[in-house]
């Protein structure tokens, strides 16, 4: 299971567990706020070779329907995936806010 952002943003007192452990998979906040450029997959070029998946330092790339897919909640925009893609299927575009 890939981590995902918990929909509920705040907790009641009783919902906070006694110890620092939660059911796996939750992340309480997105962690990509400082991204200035974002990788964009060109799905027609992408062959699903998984090199970007292997090299992504944040583990935010998955293979979905044979093509790379990026979780923008956690992608920091480092550009390693674009650099490693030998067929040029990943481009870096300015982040639009």
Separation between Cα atoms, residue 73 and residue 63, nearest integer Å: 16
Q: How far is the CA of 45 from the CAs of 56, 60, 65, 85, in angstroms?
A: 19, 20, 14, 10
Q: Smallest distance from the beta carbon of 8 to another protein, in angstroms?
A: 11
Q: Smallest distance from the beta carbon of 71 to another protein, in angstroms?
A: 17
Q: How far is the CA of 97 from the CAs of 33, 35, 51, in angstroms?
A: 10, 10, 29
- Work out which of 7, 8, 13, 88 binds another protein, going by CB under 8 A: 13
- Work out which of 11, 36, 40, 55 binds another protein, going by CB under 8 A: 11
Q: Smallest distance from the beta carbon of 24 to another protein, in angstroms?
A: 4
- From the list 63, 65, 57, the residue with the least C-alpha distance to 83 is 57
Annotate each residue in 24-53 with x if it binds another protein (CB under 8 A) or - if it does not, as one string.
Answer: xxx-xx------------------------
Q: Which residues bind another protein (CB under 8 A)?
A: 1, 9-11, 13, 16, 18-26, 28-29
């Amino acid at each position: 299971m890939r981590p995902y952002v918990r929909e509920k943003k705040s907790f009641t007192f009783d919902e906070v567990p006694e110890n620092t452990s939660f059911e796996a998979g939750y992340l309480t906040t997105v962690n990509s706020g400082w991204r200035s450029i974002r990788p964009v997959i060109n799905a027609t070029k992408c062959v699903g070779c998984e090199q970007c998946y292997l090299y992504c330092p944040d583990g935010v790339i998955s293979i979905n329907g044979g093509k790379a897919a990026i979780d923008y909640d956690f992608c920091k925009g480092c550009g390693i995936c674009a650099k490693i893609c030998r067929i040029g299927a990943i481009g870096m575009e300015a982040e639009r806010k």
